[in-house]
Amino acid sequence: MKNAFLIGIVALALSCNSKKTLQSYSQLDTTYISHGNAIAKISFEALSSELQRSMQHGGIDSALRYCNLRAYPVTDSLSQAHYATIKRVTNKTRNPRNKADELGNFLIKGFGIDLSEGNALTPKLILKDDSVLFFKPIITQPFCLTCHGTPGKEVAFSTDSTIRKLYPRDKAVGYKNNEVRGLWRIAFKVN
């Protein structure tokens, strides 16, 4: 009888500890998702406002040159400001530095399936080594198709020509509106 009572106390203590641990993980998930969403939003706004400014001053060629030369310094400075590593990754690269790894490709496909089935697109968190990785899909909008649509249709011949000069191995075309173009990948170091 004593042993059964002792086992019951231990089981109760473990179950209480387990609930507390699950609550802690849930709070951590909420915190990382909240931070990730905020950083993705800030990064998107910084990149798109500079892109629009470049278009206003020099048209699409100017915008393409901005993306080619200035996008990385912007995300690098935002990474430093937010103590995270911010990247945009894709399975159809324009710049080879943005190539998604196996995990990224898997998530791009999964988000694409969710989008096509009308499911909610919720960010994903993955614990890898000493980092929490936040992934959020980048969805094409009509404006994106100016450079990422179908050449000869949404992408003008002159734009396609500039893209090929700046990015000789470009694969980032052929998208339609409301498709997964890639992912925000934000890595937070865990101490």
pLDDT in tens, the chain (191 residues): 443 333 333 343 444 444 444 444 566 688 999 999 999 999 999 999 988 898 898 888 888 988 888 888 899 999 999 999 999 999 999 999 999 999 999 999 999 999 999 999 999 999 988 999 999 999 999 999 999 999 999 999 999 999 999 999 999 999 999 999 999 999 999 87
Q: Is 143 left (phi over 0), alpha (psi -120 to 50) or beta?
A: alpha
Which residue is listed with tokens 């075309």?
A: 173
Residue 17 phi, psi dihedral angles, 5° rounding: -65, -40
Instruction: Convert 92-124 to b/e letters by CB count within 10 Å (16 or more is b).
Output: bbbbeebebeebbeebbebbeeebeeeeeeebb
The model's pTM is: 0.83
